[in-house]
Amino acid sequence: MKPKESFMTKNVNIILLFIIVLVIVVFIGGTVYYQDRFINVTREHQVAVSTLKTVNQQLEMYKLRYNETSLELNQTIGTLESEKSNLKQMYISTKSELEDEVDDLNSSLRITQQDLEERTDELADITTDLFNANSVIDDLNATIKSLNNDITNLTSEINSLEDEIDDLEDDLDECQNAGNST
């Protein structure tokens, strides 16, 4: 009789094969996972490098613009300084002319203010006359409205009386017809 073999001893080859297959599957899974992660990291790196190149190009462009602008600014400052000097000379030369013009304008302003006061008084008188005329117009409009109401009432009364005359004429015709028939 053979000694009884244990399950392990009997199936050692199958167990080893299973362990080897399991290890291979784990390695393959790990390889696929890390390869996918590596591709994603590579893509992100390429995007970052592209963005960095773009930013670097923009920085170079801005540096060039800055240098151009700085040069233009220095030229503009020089131009402004010379214009400032010219303006100062013009200011000094025209100041007395302007003061004379201010005196003339003040004199003209006083005359214009006096004229304005006269015109304001005239306007006040005309406004009063206009207010009085508007009051008369309002009174006349009220009278016209009252007369129109009277006309309407009288027209209604005339129509009523004409209807009554028509009724009386009809009654008279009936009476005459009744008298002629007998």
Q: Is residue 62 part of a domain?
A: yes
Q: Is residue 101 part of a domain?
A: yes
pLDDT band at 1 (very low <50, low <70, confident <90, very high): very low
Q: Which domain holds residue 164?
A: 17-172
Q: Is residue 12 part of a domain?
A: no
Q: DSSP assignment, residue 1? A: -
Other C-beta atoms lying within 10 Å of the C-beta of residue 20:
10
142-175 CB burial, b ≥16 within 10 A, e <16: eeeeeeeeeeeeeeeeeeeeeeeeeeeeeeeeee
Q: Is residue 5 part of a domain?
A: no
State pLDDT tens for residues 100-109.
Answer: 889 899 999 9
Structure tokens at 102: 């201010």
Q: Is residue 2 part of a domain?
A: no
Q: Is residue 31 part of a domain?
A: yes
d(CA 150, CA 144) in angstroms, rounded, equals 10
Q: Is residue 141 part of a domain?
A: yes
Domain count, the chain: 1
d(CA 22, CA 178) in angstroms, rounded, equals 138
pLDDT band at 150 (very low <50, low <70, confident <90, very high): very high
pTM: 0.33
